[in-house]
Structure 1
Amino acid sequence: MSTPRPDPLITDAFKNLNASDRLPAITQRALWASWAALFLVAAFLLGISWLVIGADREAETIRLKQSTDLVIQSIEARITGTAEILQKLSMRLMHSPEGNYSLASADLSASTLMADRREVIEIALVSREGDVIHGWRSVSLQTQAIFNSASDVRDAPTLRAIEEVLLEDRSASTTFYSSESSDRVFINLVVPTPTRSHVLVARLDLSWLLSTAEQRLSSSRYQFQFLLNDRPVLASGGQRSTIASSSLVAPIHYRAPITFLHHAKGANMMLEARSYEHALFATNRVQYFAVAGLAVMLLLAVAIVFYYQRQQHRSHRLLATEYSLRRAMSESAVVGLRVADLSGKILYVNETFPRIVGYPAKDLLGREPPYPYWIENLMPHIDAALSHADSSAQTLRFQAKKKNGDLFWAELRLSPILDETGRAFGTIGALFDVTPLVTARQRVEDANERFTRVVESMASAIAVLSEPDRSTLFFANRSYRTLFNDLPYGGARLLKRFEATPASVQSEGIFDEESGRWFDVRLQPIVWTRSEPAVMMIATDITERRELELAREAQLRRAESTHRLVTMGEMASSLAHELNQPLAAIANYANAAATMLAAGTLSKEREAQSFSRIENQAQRAGRIIQRIRGFAKKTDAKLEPVAVQTVIQETLELANIQARKLESSIELHVPENLPLMMGDGVMLEQLLLNLLKNGMEACAGANLPPERRVMRLYAEIDPQDASRIRFSIVDHGPGIPEELRSKLFDAFYSTKSEGMGMGLNICRSIAELHGGELIVKTTPGGGSTFSFTVPVIGPGSEKA
């Protein structure tokens, strides 16, 4: 079956990859053109919008002026007509010969006037002095009346208008005003009467006139307000407030002056109008919105073109960047890449591949198997690797040869290359120089072999057990297998006993009852090869050493007992003297009692006194014998709570006997309420007694005077460690030379001719048993000071 030929386009593409080609320069002119088009369209739309809005605003300004002027003309005409009607009404109020006014016809005329002209809400006949002669009110009056017959006109503008009308005989009006109880604007119209001493004053509602004029002239879409000296009197309703708040542009203002007949000089009355009709959403402007919609769509279309142009530009830059990065990664990778077609012809190699195989790229491109760096033909192995159904990379390790003849280990990972149809047209191989890896692995294997030999030859049993169940044995050396076979249970059993043993006792060894041997056990948590938690155990057989230690301890106990017996032997004569005293006293008391009994002079009181003294002396003798038996008895060390005073008292019962024999004395310096100690009472008594006895014998042997044969016993809290009690025995004897102190505590060494040489050695062992150390120092003024410490139970323990 013939090998399919590769696609020429693919071959040319790999040739371009091998060449140092450069990408064409990426220009941004298309983006600049898109930006320019977007800006021009936006400027065009803004210009059109500005022209349209400006023309609409100008037209609205003209309409606002015309409407405002018409409203003012309507109001002025209405007020002028009202003034003429009021003058006709004044003719009905001619003075009668009896001096009364004709009010009947005037009431009818006033009612007719106010019904016809609803802006007139009050009419009053007022005298020159401002007195209201009579007043008429409109039925539609909604504010408080100001012209009452019982009151006078006191506001200055109205009084000035009355004076002007009476002086010039013509109608006049006041300026705008409003009341606090109403939101409307009023003026007072003053009309002369034929009497020349009275006037008619009419109160007109300008707000109603303005509203009527707006409705009649279709000007209700504007907002009006009256101004007096450029200040608003009161707004006319604010019916455009909603439009004003939603408008996007400022309103159009227009002010026009108002002349109501004759008014006060210097008063500038005006009507201000506002229009919001030029705003964008004020009216239904279909044509404008249609043009705006088309403009927005045009702008949107240009923006979409610009967006996709920008996306295309970014995609081009991204592809160029990806191509550059892929090429850079390929050329700078530490792995050598080569691409070959299905026949094995090399189409592409990166820069690393020639450095690994030691051949230049020109000697490799276009070559077919066998390749120059092969030592043997590897095509069968390559074909077998690529024939796997799995499409993942297949690894092939082989030894290759460089052009200069150097050999190296290479690892090739092969994968098929598929085209867009899923058909394989070649292979890609990733070549690694694994010479350091192979060398390191060989070194590891050699080191592992050496380590295994060393561990197998060790006498200690070494095992690695799984955690936490310790049911799996990961590793065991020959010593472990000899003791526990290839099973984990022996090691697990030994570790369990080791962990259950107190830390203070672990150093003495762990006894395995099944094997009957002692082991020094050490363990270390580790992580095994596959990140499995494990524990490594090293168990050293210390059976022989432990047996020797036990034998030595037994021998030491026998030596201690022997030393106590020797001490008792040395004190035998003194003890006999001590026992002879209470026995002689008992015999004397008994003989005296018998003599008095025979003579018949023994009374009940003397009898009781004699028996009491005999009992006391017998108890004294018993305590001496009991103390001697307890001191001489052979016992094992037993640490338990013991009181300082108890130990010292028991020691002194024997030490005082020796002191009397050697003509010495003992002084105690023991404070009260010392805490309980943790120790062996008999051993501590032996230690104190032996040190006191040695000091007294040294003083007696030197023939010192009695005042220097004083032994001082101190017991106190250790200044350096509050958890221990320090005992000190101080003498003023001949002292111990410096050259002899190094051998003082050695076994069988003694400065006395009759000594065994075991006393101080045993004392040191007792001190070390209690966690302390026996120290000897020179006493100031001559002599020796021996001291040791004993631990206390604790700060909260019971006091002695």
Structure 2
Amino acid sequence: MAIRIGGQAFLSLRSVWQRWFLWVLLALLVLALLGTVVWLAGRHEAEQVQAALDRDTADAAADLRAGLQRNVQGLHALATGGLDRARWNAESAALMRGHREWLRLEWRDGALRTLAAADTPYRITLFDEAGRQSAQADVSLACTSAHKLEGAAYSPSHYVALPESGGLEVMELCVPLEAGGYLIATYALRDMLIELVAPTLRRGQEVSLTEPDGTRLASVGTARRIGSRVFSTQQLIDLPGTALVLRVDGWRAAPDVFPNLLTALVTAISIALVSVLVLLARDTRRRLRAESDLADTLAFRKAMEDSVVTGLRARDLQGRITYVNPAFCEMVGFSAEELVAAGFGEAPYWPTELAHEYQKRQTLRLAGGLPPREGFESVFMRKNGTRFPVLIFEAPLINAHGVQTGWMSAFIDVSEQRRVEELSRASQERLQASARLATVGEMASLLSHELTQPLAAIASYATGSLNLLQGAEGENAEVAMAVRRIAEQADRAGQVIRSVHDFVRRRDRTREPVAPQALLDAVLPLVRLQARKLDVRVEMVLEDGLPPAQCDRTLVEQVLLNLARNAMQAMDMPELRERVLLLRVARAGSLRVEGAPADMRHWLLFTVADVGSGISDEVAKRLFTPFFTTRPDGMGLGLSLCRTVVEQHGGVLMYEPNRPRGTIFRFTLPMA
């Protein structure tokens, strides 16, 4: 029995060794084949690239010679029939417009004195009389060669400095005239490359003109890329009187694979591959018989796992995901391949803000920490970025030998349960808010009813006092002024109470045209009173020629007063040295605000700006929520009522940060 078991182990070990040997042999052959293919392909493509570059350079040199010859013919055509100053200005200007490579065209006599000249319209004027005297030697050399050759001749290139910085490499062309004298065209070598060399050659390559000794004169095209291979070729441009070299440098990355292999090498390697594959096929048939038995077992298990709605996930002892069922994939929105390929570290379904906490929990679990038997709650993130709560149950994953190989986790999506709980909670909050608003409405109606008579009495006493103080002088006049202000504020308080009463009862208010200046003047005394207490400087800016606003004057004044008070209270900070409250009214114009009318040309824009602490993101989410306030003595109804008043007028109330600090509140009202 022991001999049999030992023989089976020996045969199994021998089978494993043969299988690995065949795979290693196949891998070596494939690597040899690929290496040979890449080497041959790279060599072949490099030769092709160099050949193509040589052809392109030869074509470019031919184009350059042909272009220069055409230019000589154009100068001969200009001199046909004799030159005179009447023809010179028009024809030379037309010729310069058609030749961007020319910087200057000159008509000189036999002693090389300038009779007339035309500069290119595409550059600033480069040459003056002093500048041309410095190039006289090159011009003389070109014209001497032209006289000897009885045809066009070129001068060697020379450098011309630009007025501001840098300079140009130029070359002179001299064409003798039959009637005596010369036509001299000054070439810019770089512009000559741009105009006379095909643009397809400059795309992806660097084209340059050099002297025969290699000195670079001018270049155009693409600069060399780091890490690229250089392909270079040259063509001699032999011109009368001088010689230039056209050099083309092509930059190219590693050559692409080109499918052209030596037949004998491919055949030999293919025969070896087929031989190895035959041996592998024999081994594969034996393995297929064993895998067929496993397939039935796996299919049965997979059918069971796919039928459950609970998400399942298996991890090894290093924390890598080894298995997930379809329910888990559907839950998080990732495919099984994406989850398994995630490897060790942060899982793709972990929220970014909670990834560090989950990483610590996973490290604790891998260290042997046991999870609670009743499970625990967590938050996962779907592939589209949405979060959802899950209930997690984890247990050790034990193999057939009793050794723990990882962890098995079960997940239940509790988002629907949480949604029902949230709806119930929101309904309770809405009921409580409705009850509080109803109480506020009753209190407002009661206060408006109870305060009407005291305010009427205050107004009567103030009127009587004014009658007694009528015609008073000195200190009594100041008392009369104070009593008059008491009467005005009492009347204003009565109007506010009536407006609040009508607002709570949803009565239609009568709206009238009111000048923006009048709205600000009505609230300015109260604003300045509080501003003096808080050491706030009030600035008021009104655009010229503003039309009146069609509004409920009392309610809009309360909106302005409430926003101004909030702004001043936001600046009540000891460290704030300069406190400025800005009140501004202007036409809305082309303002685009969400919820506002499409055409803002018939609306006024009111602005209240402060330099306080600003509004945090947490406060901004609940800024207009009733009964929400950040002040201990606040009720949380001011901004909510302000927005309601503005929206009843058809406008919109908005806010934004005031740079560098503070907040800007704006609201719109229709023009009368």
Output the TM-score relative to the length of structure 1.
0.29
Greater relative CO, 1 or 2 (CA 8 Å, sep 6+): 2
